Structure 1
Amino acid sequence: MLRSLQASAVALLACAASPAFSMTRCPVEAVKPGGFVALGYAVLALALCIGLAAPLLTWRRTRALRAGLRALWLLSACTVMLGMWLAGLLVWLGAFVLPC
């Protein structure tokens, strides 16, 4: 009983210290060129526009369907929209804001 309690305590302490290992120090960066920053914002804007286009195009294409089926299509289009937004945000953060 005491041995398993000690093992649990060691595991908890190791888990508490693990974020410190993942935070490596980044080298000092120079100022990023304006074209690089503009490309980053263009990637983010493209993801937002594609994400907004999914529900709008679905709304137009499903006019002839019954209400329940149309609502299901719109719900799936909103899921795609949120996925595109999240993907664009992650690409923007990973490649342009937090490359280290």
Structure 2
Amino acid sequence: MARQKPRRNWEKAMYYHNPAMEEILRALLLASRGRQVAAYHVLLGQSPAPPSQSEGPLLLAIDAATNFLGVSRSSLYRLIYCGALTPVTLPSGGRRIRREDI
């Protein structure tokens, strides 16, 4: 059996370098503590606990809905425009999103 020639350090680095993994690790490090814990449970093979339906308001303001979904304001309006979310129009003219729709 022929012995393989050892790789040079830079060759090892290029061989093991994975930009996608780097991006995943960066996102994990920048995530909130709650999301880090959820990712940890997924890595252990446990399903994360679903959010309780009894907690929080029934209607979410646009800003609260964007924070809850983790999307930008324009992305939320795109979801409304394409019909994925149906807003509730208040008598004052403001719009809210039903928590159960999210």
Q: Does TM, scored on the shorter chain, surpass 0.5?
A: no
Q: Which structure: greater helix fraction?
A: 1
- Higher relative contact order, chain-length normalized (CA < 8 Å, sep 6+): 1
